[in-house]
Amino acid sequence: MPVPAEVQEKVDALRELLHHHAHRYYVLDEPEIPDAEYDKLFRELQELEELHPELLVPDSPTRRVGAKPLDGFAKVRHKVPMLSIRTETDIAASGARNFDARVRRELGLPESGPPIEYVAELKFDGLALNLRYENGVLVQAATRGDGEIGEEVTQNIRTIGQIPLRLPQDAPPVLEVRGEVYMRRDDFEKLNAQQREKIAQGARNEKTFVNPRNAAAGAVRQLDPGIARRRPLSFFAYGWGEVTPLEQGGPEFTTHFEALLTLRAWGFPVSARTQMAIGAEELVAFHQAVGRERDSLPFDIDGVVYKVNSFALQKQLGFVSREPRWAVAHKYPAQEQVTTVESIDVYVGRTGKLTPVARLAPVFVGGVTVTNATLHNEDEARRKDVRVGDTVIVRRAGDVIPEVVTVVPEKRMHEALLFTMPRQCPVCGSQAVREEGEADYRCTGGLFCGAQRKQAILHFAQRRAMDIEGLGEKLVDQMVEGNVIKTLPDLYRLGLAALCSLDRMAEKSAQNVLAALAGSKQTTLPRFLFGLGIRHVGEATAKDLSRHFGKLDAIMEAGVERLLEVPDVGPVVAQSIHTFFQQAHNREVVEQLRACGVCWEEGEPAARVPKPLAGRTVVLTGTLPTLSRDEAKDLLETAGAKVTGSVSKKTDYVVAGAEAGSKLDKAKELGVTVLDENGLKELLHGRA
């Protein structure tokens, strides 16, 4: 049974959102939503993928453990992935009991049985780090990155006095120690005082830092180790990665706590607040005690961590997706303060989403001076009834981004007006629409809107769209921020001089970009349609539209009822396409692209004939002798098949080539029919 279109759309939207927020948090250190909101979105995606395993793809956020490394540092592949741990969303004492109950259930232990031994630790608010020692010498330090590949920051880390450069003789030949780089609160205040003094003296390119975590992360990621040396950084160890096995001279550990004590003996700082906890009630006591001490700690934390102490039990519990079953992070209630709303502005995101933002009288919440708080969407703003001039309670939810918790009604001014979301984009003036079942308004001027300009260009240039090689994020950033290009047609009006004027753009590189742009002018209608970035129109829908209508003008002029005749196009998608082409700005961009020479072959609408593989689900794996993965996918989709990235009981065929991996094994396990390239061709010709 095919997955409902609305489920696929929801999954795609969640993945896009989670990738965006993970990038903001881990790579840019500029988060936009609280941890709790990210966790909620993550769990929602997990649940949908569990209900519909055929939707699983290798690049789903649930198959990843973090974010991409920054450019400018050598990349390091972690020998043992730096996995994240689950966040317990119940911030009350019952959250600790929930974890204990899950562990006992997974181990098959009765409620009346002996208590489990845990280690309780602080959850430091810093930057995760992997330290690699070979023969007792620090040879490499790397950030977590995406959990698989991080950034090498060895020279910067050598400046932190707490990190040993050499270990005792009894240390194993290979040892990877994992921990957190952070900045103490008193050191942070001193650093900001120095920064304010520099600014007062007229120093340029200096700034104060938002919080200790950002200051620490920024220092570690400096290409100049001299800057890191001037920042007062600290370190706590809490785990390990690769370690020489016992039979080759490695350590003999049976528990997590024993290993931490050994790390401390080898010279690594381990928090004195780390302790053993027997059973759920001691976890509860630890969570409550640390909560009372939180504000008086010399450094920031955003919760505590519980881990099963026994390595044997950890192995028995294993992992689920990207997370160990034997560990959990347990957070605290967010901190709150009272302030006033000075205005409500509307922010337009890179994908066109309109978000109301309350501009606040500055207030210090959770270690940060807060001046803005998200109101999420019109419904949320109406539900909380936030108005300009209101006195509000602000919470720094998840210790990441502030939000308005509630209004203090007795302090409201009588003339305060109810907030209404504008029906035009505040950036470009295009129509703002709210699709059925959606909470958010979105700008419909995707090809014209300045707020969406970078996103529109990057999407247009990607391999599966116009395939403009060399037009990457850094180059697009420069061209947009320098007003070199304002809309998509400007790409095809670029000259050599304009490109060569950009940073790090040599004449040869500029010529290559211009050649790629020239080559992209001859394209196909599906690629062009997909490249326009119409909401809900992916590659498959673009192909269906092209086959059904044959010509772009026919698609642009089609009403909702005509669009609904296209296979797999439902009311939401049809309305989105119709609304997009009703915007004069978007139609003008399309015409200008044509005028610049962008063209494709067009024909008559495809005859409505039965598709031989309609309703069938196919998975491709390995390398085929003569067909590329894209060619095989195109052939299958043209025949009506749905091509997915993972094998499940609902898969009809797996097409396997050379070096096929786990997908082939899964197919054999489930009894799914496996075909080679010849079998695929016979299937396409109806002979299988």
Q: Per the CATH hierarchy, to which homologous superfamily does domain 86-330 belong?
A: DNA ligase/mRNA capping enzyme (3.30.470.30)
Tell me the pLDDT tens digit for each residue of 107-154. Answer: 999 988 899 999 999 999 899 999 999 988 889 999 998 889 999 998
Given this model, what pLDDT does residue 160 score?
A: 85
Instruction: Assess whether the region 5-61 and the region 617-684 belong to the same CATH fold.
Output: no
Cβ atoms of 427 and 455 closer than 8 Å: no
- Residue in 10, 40, 123, 384 annotated catalytic: 123
Decide if 353 is catalytic: no
Residues of the chain with pLDDT under 50: 26-27, 64-70, 398
Q: What are the domain boundaries of the chain?
A: 5-61, 86-330, 334-444, 525-600, 617-684
DSSP 446: T
Given this model, what pLDDT does residue 71 score?
A: 58
CATH architecture type of domain 5-61: Orthogonal Bundle (1.10)
Looking up tokens 């196919």 gives 618
Q: What is the 3-state secondary structure (H, E, C) of 392-436?
A: EEEEEECCCEEEEEEECHHHCCCCCCCCCCCCECCCCCCEEECCC
Fold of 525-600: DNA polymerase; domain 1 (1.10.150)
Torsion of CA 434, 401, 69, 185, to 10 degrees: 180
Given this model, what pLDDT does residue 335 score?
A: 67
Closest of 198, 233, 195, 229 to residue 213, by C-alpha = 233
Given this model, what pLDDT does residue 67 score?
A: 42
Given this model, what pLDDT does residue 102 score?
A: 94
Helix axes 629-638, 539-549, angle to 10 degrees: 50
Q: How far apart are CA 659 and CA 669, in angstroms?
A: 18
Closest of 208, 274, 293, 210 to residue 236, by C-alpha = 274
Given this model, what pLDDT does residue 99 score?
A: 96
Average pLDDT over the chain, rounded to an integer: 86
Class of domain 334-444: mainly beta
Given this model, what pLDDT does residue 590 score?
A: 94
Given this model, what pLDDT does residue 36 score?
A: 66
Q: Per the CATH hierarchy, to which homologous superfamily does domain 617-684 belong?
A: BRCT domain (3.40.50.10190)
Looking up tokens 């607040």 gives 273
